Amino acid sequence: MKVLVGYATAAGSTAGIADWIAGALRARGHDVVVRSFDEVRGVSAYDAFVLGSAVHDQAWPGARPTCRPP
């Protein structure tokens, strides 16, 4: 299964968690791509996704997913 692990991060810690999740999925035999939301241009190539973000002062960081469903 091809999985996208997408994230938004303010200081980098969410990127580290995304990498950890990707490693766990790879260990179970999945083909995993890790990208920040700013790098995601589409999702049609993936069978599943895991999305995560940092939250500061009850708000997400400025990065928002820019891809649209097909």
Q: Is residue 21 part of a domain?
A: yes
Q: Find the domain containing 46 and state its range.
A: 2-53
Provide the 8-state DSSP code for 58: T
pLDDT single digits (tens) 13-61: 899 999 999 999 999 999 999 999 989 999 999 999 999 988 777 766 6
Is 60 exceeded by the pLDDT of residue 70?
no
Q: Is residue 58 part of a domain?
A: no
Is 60 exceeded by the pLDDT of residue 63?
no
- The DSSP-derived string for 16-61 is HHHHHHHHHHHHTT-EEEEEEGGG----TT-SEEEEEE--BTTB--
Specify the pTM. 0.79
CA distance 58 to 41: 27
Q: Is residue 61 part of a domain?
A: no
Q: Is residue 64 part of a domain?
A: no
- Residue 9 has phi, psi (to 5 degrees) of -140, 145
Is 70 exceeded by the pLDDT of residue 66?
no
